[in-house]
A and B are shown apart, each in its own frame.
Chain A
């Protein structure tokens, strides 16, 4: 799938119910091309559920998710990368085979150059012939993240992407994310790490008693874009 420029992801009045309990209600925000949104909040507040709703795996109790721009006739799920807590890696396959499968499945073809570049970007080049089962937790995480670099898609949904990563790998991930944003991509990540991306906004999810609010921009010198359009 090619990378059609996405102007904006708009989420309006989203509510989510899990197991009969209202997790969050009335969540609205929008993320424009080149922007990153950080989801924060205590455990169990619904960060993963929010990402899953955006990806289209679960249906919200109310509200809607809309993509402006991008490929109009393609579902949102096919324009996004979803990296969950689980890495979607097969231990019996080698590092290259794992990545080649995902790239072949998602794009219908395998571009060798892109595969090598993705492995290099996440410092997996030296491990490429190893079976994924013998990798460490951090290395497995890097292999899961290599999907992002291998197959180009405009929207990245990352659920705690830095879990298990050492400092160097976090820097590699940051570089990858910066490139993605520079190319006009969108990132929504639930994380407790500050990546220092230029255009970052934060959505603070609170347990249901308190209302949900959005605070603006973290990084110094960042444009305060978009934060005011949502209450």
Chain B
């Protein structure tokens, strides 16, 4: 457990020191949210309707943008090999590193999103559910991004490949993430069913992503 926390602590510290990881993701998120209402025009009702979806898309893309940094540095400076000689199975090392990525990129953005949502005329009533859905869903976003990062770790310009690999997996998250907040509009209330499916996806990613990441990393180091 101490070994697990050591990795999380180091990665969070590295992310904060280098500034790049969290800065780039937040910057991108902010750009999308600020530019969107300008591009769409001053139709308040329309903005209110698309706000949750727009925030989700911004979150998803910001996380993808920072995904390729999860393993690249450790791969290049030889840390990954030394991590393999540690007492922790590589699966848990992968989980620790993705958790650190979530703490640096996913969680802050998910917390920030409802606040920034007011730029998009987000309905105050849905802000708490949106917050809940985003905090939960961003964990799966980071886990899946970690899987993509592990698969593309040795490649030059792996970022594009991560997007191609991971975007299809993000679609169910996007659908159910958005329907948590917009489900009630003109139909049966599907907030909780949607949230539970979102939770199920998170749990599935929690199991699959570390296993797949570790297998990919082992293959790369061979």
Q: What is A's interface to B at a CB cutoff of 8 Å?
A: 1, 55-59, 77-78, 80-82, 84-90, 92-93, 97, 101-102, 104-109, 147
Contacts and interface: CB of A to CB of B under 8 A. Distances in A.
Nearest to A81: B85
A186 to B, nearest CB: 15
Contact of B85 (A77, A87, A90, A109): A77
B3 A82 contact: no
Given A82-B82, A93-B17, A108-B87, A57 B6 contact: no
A197 to B, nearest CB: 23
Contacts of A84: 78, 81
B156 interface: no
Nearest to B5: A104
Contacts, number: 75
Contacts of B86: 78, 105-106
A86 B76 contact: yes
Q: How large is the interface on B (under 10, 10 to 19, 20 to 34, 35 or more residues)?
A: 20 to 34
Given A92-B18, A106-B86, 8 more contacts: A59-B222, A78-B85, A80-B85, A82-B85, A87-B77, A102-B82, A105-B6, A105-B7
A86 B78 contact: yes
A102 B77 CA distance: 14
Contacts of B1: 108
Contacts of A109: 2
A87 B86 CA distance: 16
A87 B17 contact: no
Main secondary structure of the interface of B (DSSP, over half): helix
B36 interface: no
A204 to B, nearest CB: 26
Nearest to A86: B78
Contacts of B221: 57-58
A147 B14 CA distance: 20
B77 A90 contact: yes
Contacts of A56: 84
A88 B3 contact: no
Contact of A82 (B10, B81, B87, B222): B81
B90 to A, nearest CB: 10
B222 A87 contact: no
Interface in B37-89: 73, 76-79, 81-88
8 contacts: A56-B84, A77-B84, A88-B79, A88-B82, A92-B14, A93-B10, A102-B82, A106-B85
Contacts of A93: 10, 13-14, 17
Nearest to A108: B2
A104 B87 CA distance: 11
Contacts of B78: 84-88
Interface in B76-126: 76-79, 81-88
3 A-B pairs with least C-beta separation: A86-B78, A108-B2, A104-B6
B77 A89 contact: yes
Contacts of B84: 55-57, 77
A147 B1 CA distance: 20
A92 B17 CA distance: 7
B88 A105 contact: yes
A70 to B, nearest CB: 14
A108 B3 contact: yes
Given A57-B221, A90-B14, A93-B13, A105 B81 contact: no
